[in-house]
Amino acid sequence: MFLVPNAVVRFFHRMASPPHFYVFTECVMPWLIVIFALLSAAGLYGGLYLAPADYQQGDSYRIIYIHVPSAWMSLFIYVAMAITAAIGLIWRIKLAEIIAISSAPIGASFTFIALVTGSLWGKPMWGTWWVWDARLTSELILLFLYLGVIGLYGAIDDKRVASKAIAILALVGVVNIPIIHYSVEWWNTLHQGPTVTKMDKPSIHVSMLIPLLFMALSFKFYYLIALLQRVRIELLRRERNSQWVKTMLLESK
């Protein structure tokens, strides 16, 4: 009965090895790209063409198929960044450190998209591009946290030391995540309350919900694709003097 746990442990132990990780990502990358393309096509077709217009907002609500998944990803990636940064800080696993810093620019991009699309959506709904709403303000702080991680990592030459510094910053910033998520419930805000994650049932019609879930999944696969690409580049940069990199370059010639 211990075969499955042992197999899982061995798998993650192998993935912590840079050469094995590099080869593994090279194999799975085409599959991730295909899945991402299919999910994106299904989500966009369902959201922009099949889903009916909203009875109050008309077709302007369709921006949710970019805005909402981007907002979800901004939180998801920050938590992933903080966890991997903590793993790198505690167990000094180089690959975890690289995953953490590689996640930061992707998370910052999703956060920026969420803020911009939120403003575009808010203009016709609220009559203004921006309000200092609790959800919007805490999301803006999240963007600054991502930028702080990126800037701090770039400012320190020793990347192992830099990884420790960004781990501390990332872990401190985790306190902002529940504030973003629950802000619409804790305070009286203009931002729309939860519609998909309600405990009883979503207050969004299934014809609108299914494309939204497709887009949310496609954004997660995009994150994996972008993350693996950035990790591979950073891994080669750090390991450029290692024997496995030299061997791989010789075999590719």
> pLDDT tens digits for 215-233?
999 999 999 999 999 999 9
> Is-contact 130 122, C-beta < 8 A?
yes
How far, in Å, CA of 129 to CA of 109, rounded?
A: 19
In angstroms, the CA 43 to CA 221 distance is 13
CB 128, CB 176: distance < 8 Å: no
Would you state the pLDDT for residue 252?
76
**Residue 196 pLDDT:** 60
Residue 11 is predicted with a pLDDT of 65
Q: What is the DSSP string of 111-151?
A: HHHHHHHHHHHHHHHHSSS----HHHHHHHHHHHHHHHHHH
> What residue ranges do the domains of the chain occupy?
24-252
Which residue has better confidence, 126 or 40? Answer: 40
Condensed to tens digits (0 to 9), the pLDDT of residues 47-98 reads: 999 999 988 888 989 999 999 999 999 999 999 999 999 999 999 999 999 9
Q: Are 180 and 139 in contact (CB under 8 A)?
A: yes
The yes-or-no verdict on residue 122 having pLDDT over 90 is: no
Q: What is the pTM of this model?
A: 0.91
| In the block, residue with structure tokens 């998944």 | 69
pLDDT in tens, 132-191: 888 899 999 999 999 999 999 999 999 999 999 999 999 999 999 999 888 767 655 655
Q: What is the pLDDT of residue 87?
A: 95
| Residue 129 confidence class, pLDDT cut points 50, 70, 90 | confident
Answer yes or no: are the C-beta atoms of 143 and 115 closer than 8 Å: yes
pLDDT attached to residue 3: 47
